[in-house]
Chains A and B, each alone.
Chain A
Amino acid sequence: MKEVSSLLLMFLKLFLARPGSGVIIVFGVAGLTAIVTSLFAVSTAFEGALASTGQPDRALLLRAGSTSEINGNVALNQYEIVRDMAGLLRLQDKGVASRETYVTANLRMKNSSKEATLPLRGVEAAAFTVRPEVSIVSGATFDAGKYELIAGVKAAQTFAGLEVGQTIRIRGQEYLVRGHFSAEGGANETELWMDERLLAATLGRGETFSSIIVRLESAREFESFQAQLAADRRLTLSAYRESSFYEDLAGPTTSMIQTLGLLVGIIMSIGALAAGVNSMQAALESRTREIATLRALGFGRVPVLTAVLAECAVLSLIGAGAALVGVFVLLDGQTLSTVAASTTSGTQVAFEFDITGESLAIAGLTALSLGVLGGLMPGIAAIRRPIPQALRG
């Protein structure tokens, strides 16, 4: 141990004295770590948002043929019919169903002067019954019939002017922000909610709304509920299980991110590994003489190789540390949403970069294994050189 640690210290000093192309290992590892961590953060955040938004016992009802809430235009009478259907969860003899009107709003973002789109959802009290995960976390809810709204916590974080008590102009109308709500991380947190009938009237859509969200007795009821809906001639609605709706919506993006991530990750790893191997090769060649001297003095091959690998590990961790600091500063807590990616569908899934312990561990392990792998071959080559020639450098 003592000999390995004194060798490690010496090697690090030698490295500092002649960093040369050896620093490439640090940069290679840093680049790879940054990419792996970001991709990992994106895909976990995405999955997290998905998992918490879609519930299997909820169904989203849209006008037949429509794939998004934004295309709305469901006639008012449909709502009453749906509420009486079998399979719905009933409270006080009424089916739990929420009639909603959905449009988009443009607001200025907090940390830039740019505007971005977010959903403005008109809801009734039933919206809260349908979504038990939604709760007011500050202020109060809006009053029916008034130009008031509540903002999801992620919306309030991202957009300017959404503090409780502020008034904000949306589509030419002033609204009072009455409160903030959370939805256990679900996509609703990026929305603004207000009174449904008032919104419909403001939009001049008094006779229609956009969608109905219903809560079923259980997730198993969905198929029969869907069949019932299709069989009823009075209804022109299609039903989506809420969980699959969000999965379908974000699915292509998620799997694209994952495939792309894997591909980029693999290519980067190979590149970084090659760079690391080269880099350590050069660094070790520049100390051929010192290594031969050490071995002549009686330092064994195993301690020398161990110290070389430990050095690579240290250099890699430095690279990884630098990359993590960079990623952390740039991305941690940033809320992104699929708004830009899916303006046509008009429905967003928000996700947040979180540098978690898990991503730290993954980054650390990637860096370490890359560094150690990168040092292995040059290290073995270095300890296998015949001592007499190497002594002369």
Chain B
Amino acid sequence: MTTPFIRCENITHGYFRGGHQLEVLSSLTLSVESGDFVALMGPSGSGKSTLLNLIAGLEKPHAGDITIGGIDITSLDEQTLAAWRAATLGFVFQFYNLIPVLTAHDNVALPLMLTPLSRKERNQRAAAALEIVDLTDRAKHKPTELSGGQQQRVAIARALVTDPRLLVCDEPTGDLDRASATETLQLLKMLNTDFDKTIFMVTHDPEAASYAHTVWHMDKGNLRDRQKRAVA
């Protein structure tokens, strides 16, 4: 058996609220194989985003270890963790989180500022990423001049421009109409199959989950059951 790409071991996490500790995840263990497309489903408040944020290194668990690509990210300091995110992860958020004052092209090129690439190389890469999401003709547009679906595609281009191994997506279709959602999901699926990206996606949408190979159901901080689909 190969070592999994993502390994969460006995992670416990919670929030301090109303004067007492609210435990969201307790002793959760989870593995994700490299190249998998995982959908995490479950009722609101069950802890899906919490788990995603821990895997993405945006928060540290109160207990337990998270190892991704052989690196124990819970042991990294703030600065190293930021550099690790820049190198390993691409983010796709429900509300796109594009920088409103930057053009689509500049939004996509943004993560490349953290690389040693020259300006020319950065521009070439950003253009290539925009081409993958089929938005070359919108490169000079600001986010407000784009539809929700187009903004999400720009966000996907931004997520893949650094060629990370892992994409984390929190409700990527949560704010989109059906057609745009389908487009987005097809794009994610293509990135998984053609570009070999491992994808960890939180969603409410069974339709979205149907694009994944592995679907986990979460309830009150526990992973209830897992469905493994045959790769289509």
Q: Which residues of A contact B (CB under 8 A)?
A: 2-3, 6, 10, 13-14, 16-17, 289-290, 292-302, 386-388, 391-393
Contact = CB atoms under 8 A, between A and B. Distances in A.
Contacts of B110: 6, 294, 297
Interface stretch (B95-103, B126-134, B224-232): B95-103
Contacts of B95: 392-393
A292 B100 CA distance: 14
Given A386-B59, A391-B93, A298 B85 contact: yes
Interface string B72-95: 000000110011111101010101
A297 B49 contact: no
* 8 nearest A-B residue pairs (beta carbon): A298-B86, A13-B101, A293-B97, A298-B85, A387-B58, A388-B53, A300-B82, A3-B113
Contacts of A289: 97
Given A10-B101, A13-B102, A295-B82, 11 more contacts: A6-B113, A17-B101, A296-B85, A296-B91, A298-B85, A298-B114, A299-B82, A299-B114, A301-B82, A387-B58, A391-B58
Contact of A17 (B49, B53, B91, B100): B100
Contacts of A388: 49, 53, 58-59
**B: interface residue count bin:** 20 to 34
B49 A290 contact: no
Contact of A296 (B58, B78, B102): B58
Contacts of B41: none
Task: Determine chain B's interface SS by DSSP, over half rule.
Answer: helix
A17 B113 CA distance: 22
A265 to B, nearest CB: 37
B120 to A, nearest CB: 13
B97 A298 contact: no
A293 B110 CA distance: 11
Contacts of A296: 56, 58, 85, 91, 97
A301 B78 CA distance: 9
B148 interface: no
B101 A298 contact: no
B111 interface: yes
B154 to A, nearest CB: 13
A14 B87 CA distance: 26
A351 B156 CA distance: 67
A391 B87 CA distance: 20
A17 B101 CA distance: 7
Q: Which one of B49, B53, B114 has the greatest number of beta carbons of chain A within 10 Å?
A: B114
B76 to A, nearest CB: 12
B142 to A, nearest CB: 10
22 contacts: A3-B113, A6-B110, A6-B113, A10-B101, A14-B99, A14-B101, A16-B101, A289-B97, A293-B93, A296-B56, A296-B85, A296-B91, A297-B114, A298-B85, A298-B86, A298-B89, A299-B113, A299-B114, A301-B82, A387-B58, A388-B49, A392-B95
Contact of B113 (A2, A293, A302, A391): A2
B5 to A, nearest CB: 19
Contacts of A3: 113-114
A10 B102 CA distance: 8
